Amino acid sequence: MTRPVVGVIGNHHLIENRFACQLVGERNLWALAQVCGALPLTFAGCPEITDMEALLATVDGIVLTGARANVHPSRFGLAEDPAHEPYDARRDSLALALVEACVDRGVPLLAICRGFQEMAVAYGSTLHPEIRNLPGRMNHRMPRLPNGEIHPDQEVVFADRHEVRLAPGGAFARIMGRDLIRVNSLHGQGIMQAGPRVVVEGVAEDETIEAIRVDGAKGFALGVQWHAEYDPQTNPVNRALFEAFGQAISGYSKAA
């Protein structure tokens, strides 16, 4: 029995400000291999070189990963702002189309952080570019040193930072087996207004939306604002999510 194959989207980076690359956070790949029993297969976040039909004929699931670049504000009716760069318009285009294709066909889809935002925007949600600036909101960005540098210890950066209250009886509460969890937090953007098919399944103490599903999806279509890929090997909350995704990809039949 071969492993199910999961497509993992890449994101654009300029290495040394000259060398264009498609990168993917390695922890996404380890989580899929070790907890879902999948073969992770990265693909470019570039619609120009990605045949979606060929991709979806090849994979048993898709993961839209986190990424430093923000979803372009034109996708939700706002003007771009240098303060909220970088953007990754190619990834936006491919990811938003993939969300709808997966939802319509029942291809299991797990959306993480930026991917969560892409899932939300694909179905008409708006985002706020810097939610920590909203009254009453926490700072959801990764912790930094007093001098402003990103904290050098990954355990600190990815430590649980806040609670998420899950909708009782909802998809996430059923997967997690509880209504209250704690999660890490590494994002600046957040959902302002959920679109009509975006079901809010979990919110933080400051009402920031942290977990969603797409209403009417034929298959697994869940998104989380936190970085569940960081430690599903040891963290029961993230393990439950990746195991549920693993069941979905194992049970998915491309032939259907």
Ligand X SMILES: N[C@@H](CCC(=O)NCCCC(=O)O)C(=O)O
DSSP codes, 78-129: ----GGG--B-HHHHHHHHHHHHHHHHHT--EEEETHHHHHHHHHTT-EEET
Looking at residue 74, its amino acid is: S
Region 147-186 residues binding ligand X, contact defined as CB under 6 A? 186
Assess 61 for contact with ligand X (CB under 6 A). no
Write out the two tokens for 29.
């790949």
Region 69-88 residues binding ligand X, contact defined as CB under 6 A? 69-70
The window from 27-35, 39-47, 62-70, 174-182 that contacts ligand X (CB under 6 A) reads 62-70
Between CA 86 and CA 144 the distance in angstroms is: 19
Between CA 9 and CA 95 the distance in angstroms is: 8
The window from 32-40, 64-72, 200-208, 244-252 that contacts ligand X (CB under 6 A) reads 64-72
Assess 10 for contact with ligand X (CB under 6 A). no
159 burial via Cβ count (<10 Å: 0-12, 13-18, 19+): middle
Residues marked active site are found at 113, 227, 229
Task: Give the x-and-dash track for 95-114 against ligand X (CB under 6 A).
Answer: ------------------xx
We find the least distance from the C-beta atom of residue 226 to ligand X, in angstroms, to be 10
Task: Give the x-and-dash track for 229-248 against ligand X (CB under 6 A).
Answer: --------------------
Closest CB to ligand X among residues 99, 173: 99
Looking at residue 115, its amino acid is: G
Q: Enumerate binding residues for ligand X (CB under 6 A).
A: 66-70, 113-114, 186-189
